Amino acid sequence: MMNTARVGLGRRGEQLAAEALEQRGFALIARNWRCAEGEVDLIAVREDQWYFFEVRARRGNTQGTPEESATPRKRARMETVARRYLGEMLEVDVVWHLGFVAVEMDVAGRLLRITIYPDLEGEPL
């Protein structure tokens, strides 16, 4: 089971990520959507394209960067969950992307950076 500090860090990271996405023109559709295969942190739409975001927050640098946690296994699970959402929730084909939001804070919890990758294979915004 996750400890309270880690859960709090994750929730704060997701909230900061959601705010950053909205500031950049994304409309949030869902948070923490779950199915049998897993969970997607944030689902958003921008310019008629759908985005499924994993949010990773890190405090300090002992665990590496948030980007380093985007493993091939995690990416495969994200794709499975995104396809499940699209199959269950939408009745039309849409253009969609797997995205990532890196939230980095110092050890005191002050925000250092938020980096949005609208596509896991692409450049950050």
Residue-wise pLDDT for 36-77, tens only, equals 999 999 999 999 999 999 999 998 777 788 998 888 999 999
81 burial class (0-12, 13-18, 19+ CB within 10 angstroms)?
buried
pLDDT for 6 equals 64
Residue 31 lies in a domain: yes
Residue 15 lies in a domain: yes
Q: Check whether 93 has a pLDDT greater than 70.
A: yes
Which domain range does residue 66 map to?
4-117
Residue 124 lies in a domain: no
Residue 123 lies in a domain: no
Rounded average pLDDT over 24-40: 96
Are residues 28 and 21 in contact, defined by beta-carbon separation less than 8 angstroms?
yes
Please, what is the end-to-end C-alpha distance for the chain in angstroms? 34
Q: Check whether 90 has a pLDDT greater than 60.
A: yes
pLDDT for 44 equals 98
- Name the 3-class secondary structure at 86: helix
- How far is C-alpha 72 from the chain's CA centre? 15
Dist. CA 15–CA 94, nearest whole Å: 26
Residue 65 lies in a domain: yes
Residue 99 lies in a domain: yes
Number of structural domains the chain divides into: 1
Dist. CA 85–CA 49, nearest whole Å: 14
Q: β-strands 49-59, 95-105: how paired?
A: parallel
Q: What is the pTM of this model?
A: 0.92
Dist. CA 87–CA 93, nearest whole Å: 9
Residue 122 lies in a domain: no
Q: Identify the CATH number of the domain in which residue 18 sits.
A: 3.40.1350.10
pLDDT for 121 equals 83
Q: Identify the helix (H) or strand (E) that includes residue 73.
A: helix 72-89
pLDDT for 1 equals 45
Residue 62 lies in a domain: yes
